[in-house]
Structures are given as structure tokens and as C-alpha cells.
């Protein structure tokens, strides 16, 4: 045998061993490289594959050598995320607060799957849904302050003072003309209050939780997972899901804002112009030597522009200031025991180290990490 043929045979043997498909024909003694049931040279029968040996390499590989396990987990995660996204899209138009909670749960589940094991654009679909729901919750219809929500123009009528010293009284009359501020709709499109938004988000989480319970899922912090995951998944995986949603400040529901104390969250204050009457002021036309006979006209108030209200200087018209619980960050403080990881070294493994144990630890499942007893795997301090 020449050196060339010997080298080729060595390469063939190494390749066959690497692929795990080394089978030798009992008739001619040649190696099978085709992967069939009969020898490609003498057509003789080949020995069967050993049980558990794959016919071909897995389609998705993993750097740790557990690509098939990661692929199965990613597929299960994708199925769960798909259900959450479908349920969220059905609620977006009617109840965006419920859709927001379903999208948040999908975002937490995606932390267990690798991007290369998911269809392209999966994370983008969830993020776009979150953005749409947050935008819808920030805007709401408010009653027009000029007409009081009636949609009709209001005219102030001043009753003359009585002869017995009774002071003049001002009353408002509703006319048939449409309100100039809201165009007769009675409502104007404005920013939803901070407190109203926070309560709406909490209500959405409660309603979404009822839907998840009806679907058979169990709670893992704020996330909802299959009932088999608490026993199947490792403490690190459970902590990864829990701390994704626990990072938001519980005082402000992740908004980073609290209602302004000066305007009580409305973002506006009554117009302070003394000449303003329902958003209008009287302006003298021309210059004359007899002011009593001068003509006047009604124009919009230069301070409130006809809305009867001005922006609050404390919150700059936003209706909210920085949350005192999180200083406006919208996130909670990390747990001091685990440093925000949600897991700590397993205590059971420390005691098992002194004795010989062959079975894996039930607490950490052999990972030597357990859930933090202080934050229960959420990684953040609860307020």
C-alpha cells in the first residue's frame, strides 16, 4: 500500500468516526460511506445502526454539543410565543392593555430561545407589538374644557346687580353653535394621565393572567409558563424568565413617572389671564378720544389660545414627574443577595460535597445554582 492510499484511507476513517457512521462490510471489508443498508461495492448486507445513533447530523448545531435539545426548546418556545402574539393581536384594537401584557409574556419566553433557532423577525414582531400598545395607551380622548363635553358653544351671561346690594352673578348658557375648540365632538385627543395609564396597565395584566390560567399555564413571577417547566427547566432558565419582567418598577408599572402634585396629573392649569372669558378676550379696535364709544371685538386669549387652560410649569404639560421610587428610570433596584442574577450557589451541593452522591442534586438539577431565597429568582427587590 502506497503512502498516498494509506493517507486517503486514514482520512476516510477519521471522517467516518467524526460523523459517527463507521460501518464495515462483512463480505469485502470495506467501509460504508453512502449510509445505505447494502454495501456500495459488493452489494452485501451491512450491519444495522446502533440504537440511538442518528442517520444524519442535526440540522441545527449547538456550540455545546446539545443542538438537538436547544432546537426542541426553541421550537416549544416559538409555539408558546406564537399563541401569545395571536391572542395579543386580537386584543389590540379593543383592549391594548391586555395585548401589552401578552406581548410582555412573549418577550420573557423568548429569552430561553436562541435567535438562530427561531424564524427571522420573531423578536421584531414582539417588539413592534409592544410599541403599538404603548402608543395606544398613551393617547386618550378627554372632555373638552371649553364646552364641558357638550360639544356646544357656551356663552357667559352676567346678571345685573340688584338694588338691595346683591352682587352680579355670572351664568353659562349653552347655545346651538358647535364649540370652536373641539368642533362639536365634545372630546379632544390628548395625553392620558399617568395614574390612569398605570391603572390601565395593571388591569390589563390581571385580565391577561385570567386568560393564561384558562389556557393551563402557571405563574413564574409575572410570566406565565407551561405547568411542566418548573420541574423540567433549570433554576437559571426560570430566573431568566422571571427577572425579564420583574425589572420594571412596581410603583409606576415601568413608566418612570408619577402624577404631578401641582396639576394632579392633568398637565394643565386654569388660565390666569383675568380678561379671559371662556378662552376669549375683548380687544379694542382703533384709537378714539371717547373710550366708552370705542368698538371692541372678541379674539382668542393669547395665553391659553382659546382652550381656557395653560400648561403646568411643574411638569411642562406632561402631567407627570419622575417616580420617587425609581427616580424616573422605570426599573427596580437589583437584589443585594444575588446581584440581580436571580440565582445563587446551591446550598445542597455544599453539603453533598462531603458525602459521595451519584444522583444529581434535586435543588439545582446538577447546575450548582439555585433560586435566590430573597428575590425568588426575580433578581430585583420588590417594593
Please write the tens of the pLDDT for every residue from 269-294: 999 888 888 888 887 776 665 666 66
Write out the DSSP string of 194-258.
Answer: HHHHHHHHHHHHHHHHHHHHHTT-EEETTEEE-TTHHHHS-HHHHHHHHHHHHTB-TTTTTS-EE
**Please, what's the b/e burial string for 99-117 (b: 16 or more CB within 10 A of its CB; e: otherwise)?**
bbbbbbbbbbbbebbeeeb
Query: 374 to each of 12, 128, 239, 335, 343, how far by Cα in Å?
Result: 57, 34, 13, 8, 10
Number of C-beta neighbours around residue 256 at 10 A: 21
**Average pLDDT rounded to a whole number, residues 37-52:** 61
Q: Could you tell me the residue ranges of all domains in the chain?
A: 80-142+190-257+330-371
Predicted confidence at residue 97, as pLDDT, reads 94
Q: Considering only the C-alpha atoms of the chain, give the largest distance between any 2 of them, rounded to a whole number of Å.
A: 134
307 vs 100, which has greater pLDDT? 100
Q: What pTM value is reported for the model?
A: 0.65
Query: Cell numbers 409574556 correspond to what residue?
Result: 105
7 vs 229, which has greater pLDDT? 229
28 vs 341, which has greater pLDDT? 341
Q: What is the pLDDT of residues 246-264, one digit of tens each?
A: 888 888 888 888 899 888 8
Amino acid at each position: 500500500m502506497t503512502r498516498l492510499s494509506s493517507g486517503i484511507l486514514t482520512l476516510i476513517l477519521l471522517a467516518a468516526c467524526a460523523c459517527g457512521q463507521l460501518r464495515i462490510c462483512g463480505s469485502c471489508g470495506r467501509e460504508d460511506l453512502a449510509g445505505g443498508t447494502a454495501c456500495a461495492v459488493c452489494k452485501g448486507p451491512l450491519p444495522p445502526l446502533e440504537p440511538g445513533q442518528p442517520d444524519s447530523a442535526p440540522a441545527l448545531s449547538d456550540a455545546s454539543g446539545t443542538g438537538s435539545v436547544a432546537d426542541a426548546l426553541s421550537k416549544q418556545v416559538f409555539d408558546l410565543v406564537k399563541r401569545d402574539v395571536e391572542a395579543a393581536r386580537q386584543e389590540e384594537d379593543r383592549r391594548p392593555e391586555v395585548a401589552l401584557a401578552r406581548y410582555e409574556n412573549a418577550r420573557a419566553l423568548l429569552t430561553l430561545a436562541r435567535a438562530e433557532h427561531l424564524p427571522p423577525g420573531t423578536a421584531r414582531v414582539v417588539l413592534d407589538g409592544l410599541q403599538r400598545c404603548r402608543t395606544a395607551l398613551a393617547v386618550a380622548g378627554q372632555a373638552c374644557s371649553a364646552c364641558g363635553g357638550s360639544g356646544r358653544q357656551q356663552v357667559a351671561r352676567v346678571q345685573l346687580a340688584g338694588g338691595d346690594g346683591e352682587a352680579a352673578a355670572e351664568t353659562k348658557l349653552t347655545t346651538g353653535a358647535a364649540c370652536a375648540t373641539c368642533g362639536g365632538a365634545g372630546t379632544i385627543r390628548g395625553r392620558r394621565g399617568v395614574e390612569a395609564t398605570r391603572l390601565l396597565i395593571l388591569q390589563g395584566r390581571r385580565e391577561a393572567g385570567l386568560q393564561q390560567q384558562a389556557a393551563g399555564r402557571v405563574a413564574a413571577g409575572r410570566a406565565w409558563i407551561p405547568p411542566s417547566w418548573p420541574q423540567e427547566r433549570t433554576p437559571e432558565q426560570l430566573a431568566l424568565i422571571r427577572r425579564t419582567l420583574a425589572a420594571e418598577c412596581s410603583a409606576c408599572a415601568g413608566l418612570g413617572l408619577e402624577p404631578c402634585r401641582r396639576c394632579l396629573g392633568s398637565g394643565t392649569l386654569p388660565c390666569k389671564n383675568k380678561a379671559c372669558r371662556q378662552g376669549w378676550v375683548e380687544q379694542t379696535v382703533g384709537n378714539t378720544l371717547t373710550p366708552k364709544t370705542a368698538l371692541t371685538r372678541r379674539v382668542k386669549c393669547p395665553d391659553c389660545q382659546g382652550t381656557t387652560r395653560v400648561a403646568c410649569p411643574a411638569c411642562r404639560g406632561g402631567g407627570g414627574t419622575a417616580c420617587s421610587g425609581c427616580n424616573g428610570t422605570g426599573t427596580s433596584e437589583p437584589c443585594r443577595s444575588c446581584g440581580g442574577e436571580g440565582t445563587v450557589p446551591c446550598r445542597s451541593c455544599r453539603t453533598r460535597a462531603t458525602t459521595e452522591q451519584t444522583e444529581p442534586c434535586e435543588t439545582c438539577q446538577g447546575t450548582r445554582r439555585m433560586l435566590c431565597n430573597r428575590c425568588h429568582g426575580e433578581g430585583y427587590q420588590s417594593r
